Amino acid sequence: MTCENTTPITGEPIYRDLVVIGGGAAGLAAAASAYDNGVRDIVILEREGATGGILKQCIHNGFGLHRFDEELAGPEYALREAARVAERNIEVRLNTMVLSLTDDRRVVAVSPDEGLVEYVAGAVVLAMGSRERTRGMLGIAGSRPAGVYTAGTAQQFTNLRGILPGREVVMLGSGDIGLIMARRLVYEGAHVKMVLNRSHFSGGLKRNIVQCLDDYGIPLRLSHTITRIHGRARLTGVDVARVDPATKKPIPGSEEFVPCDTLLLSVGLLPENELTRAAGIAMDRRSNGALVDETLSTSAPGIFSCGNVLHIHDLVDFVSEEGDRAGESAARYLAGAEGAAGSADVVRVVPGDGVGYVVPQVVHKDAQGQVTFRFRSRDVYKKATIAVVADGEMAKTFRRPIVLPAEMESVKLPVEAFAGASELKISLDAEQVGARADQAAAAEPAEQLPEGAVAHDLVCISCPVGCMIHAVEQDGKIVSVTGNTCRRGLKYAEGEVLDPQRMVTCLVDVEESAMPASVRTERTVPKRLIPDVLAELRRVTLTKPVRCGDVVFENVCGTGVNVVATKDVL
């Protein structure tokens, strides 16, 4: 049976030079960049009531170090990108859901105000982001009680509505959303019993394992999974089993019952490409995104793709960078540039050993300048060599101390390096390492410690790179630091050993508002004071209007550090 929408489209089709589908980090950057490259007739279509996408619910810090050279919370980053769009007077249509797209750039959208509207676009940027894998996709046996959520849904409840999803929590999957949520729930008074991961490596960034699990003593059990869900009305517990690394199957007899009232699933994101597929655009089954060329053009001329809808990113800064590129390419297309990913005269880019996917998947033979290739590894590798081979000849190699599936890798290559080739293969040649070895792999222990000295292996959390640092402390001083790749690492090692510090992010009540305000400390505070800072802020009630950047509390816990709002509550 097919279901057809018979509601008439209101009015004539509307022509727009550029239609951007999705107003998250990727869509906002693409629109602003297209404007800066000469396009004026732009509309962003966003199905939610505000722009920002997933950033709106990510109240933690860790965004913007590359793009703004500052550590921001998600909503702050979103507001900065939205401000760039507003400064350029770019039209944003909120509560507008795109229902269909064709390869000749006809876009049908629906909104409560306008009903069904058809846009005919000169160019389209796809920026629809991603969604989470659900319980249904995992096929876990057992009953269907309340209390089983994806980590992102729990994040939305907690951070946008101030609702705690449960008190005794088990997490399946150690993707970044899950790690961040584990800490968030601890802040809100829940007990996170354990985080389980089926594979022998974590799906999240190293810095998140340190800041979100290790800091709070939450055990990460690698090579473990859930085999059964128990409970009738509400979840009462789960069966946890060890996984055989060879067969990747649960080991019979290893099951243990773990009582809990909440199970959070953080088992990966899927690019949201229903519109892309329905438009007949060529897809890459490895990345689950569109197949694109070096300009981020899909196989349909004039349709570009960027951000999480193209491939899942670890950092928003790279999403915005990709949005910039897609916007610039759309502007060039509108100015008459030709070419699409489907055209014949291209170099095919394929993943080799150890590489899951590569974007872009094709490069035009007449491309100019440098091309950035982004990819993910399949496993954890240390002392890795990234080999780029053009038609069987080594074009270039790159070295990395460690490569992790949780972190997007990228290499930049001048087009001359593969001129005349028809295939480019990107592979990893490296020593594969086992469970949690990633934590210590790059930091070799000092051979001989001076008398009275203590060695510390640390993961630097100053930025998302997460360098593995080996520091030696003697008589209350740091006497040597290795493994850092920038000066911030030196400072971090000293601070982390002698006086560990963290930024604190949480919610604060606002009078006469169902929505709490998200806040963060302006700078880091001593880690040992986090519970006191949270307790002090729990007693605060703000009055409207609260604006992003307002100092809402001075000198928290006598630290000399102020607390600022990271979103508007007006």
Q: What is the contact surface with ligand FAD in residues (CB under 6 A)?
A: 21-27, 45-48, 53-55, 58, 62-63, 97-98, 127-130, 155, 176-177, 180, 272, 275, 307-308, 313, 315-317, 319
Q: 316-334 and 25-36 are packed helices; what angle lies between their axes, rounded to 10 degrees?
A: 40
Q: Between residues 459 and 510, which has the closer beta carbon with respect to ligand FAD?
A: 459
Q: 25-36 and 74-87 are packed helices; what angle lies between their axes, rounded to 10 degrees?
A: 30
Length of the chain: 570
**Range list of H helices, 262-361:** 274-278, 316-334
Q: Between residues 58 and 565, which has the closer beta carbon with respect to ligand FAD?
A: 58
Closest distance of CB 57 from ligand FAD, Å:
7
Closest distance of CB 153 from ligand FAD, Å:
11
Q: How far apart are CA 520 and CA 563, in angstroms?
A: 6
Closest distance of CB 97 from ligand FAD, Å:
5
For residue 542, the SS3 value is strand
Closest distance of CB 272 from ligand FAD, Å:
6
Closest distance of CB 353 from ligand FAD, Å:
27
**Which of 563, 466, 458 lies closest to 520, judged by CA?**
563
Residues 419, 426, 130, CA angle at the centre, nearest 5°? 115
Q: Between residues 86 and 258, which has the closer beta carbon with respect to ligand FAD?
A: 86
Q: Between residues 47 and 200, which has the closer beta carbon with respect to ligand FAD?
A: 47
Closest distance of CB 476 from ligand FAD, Å:
33
Q: Between residues 274 and 391, which has the closer beta carbon with respect to ligand FAD?
A: 274
> For residue 327, which amino acid is it?
G
352 contacts 394 by C-beta, under 8 angstroms: no
Sheet holding 454-459, edge to edge: 454-459, 468-474, 477-482
Closest distance of CB 477 from ligand FAD, Å:
32
Q: How far apart are CA 433 and CA 420, in angstroms?
A: 37
Q: Between residues 95 and 385, which has the closer beta carbon with respect to ligand FAD?
A: 95
Q: Between residues 223 and 297, which has the closer beta carbon with respect to ligand FAD?
A: 297
Tokens 């944003």 sit on residue: 92
Residues in contact with 191: Cβ distance below 8 Å, sequence separation at least 6, in sequence order: 167, 168, 169
Closest distance of CB 25 from ligand FAD, Å:
4
Q: H or E segment at 238?
A: strand 235-242
Q: Between residues 53 and 489, which has the closer beta carbon with respect to ligand FAD?
A: 53
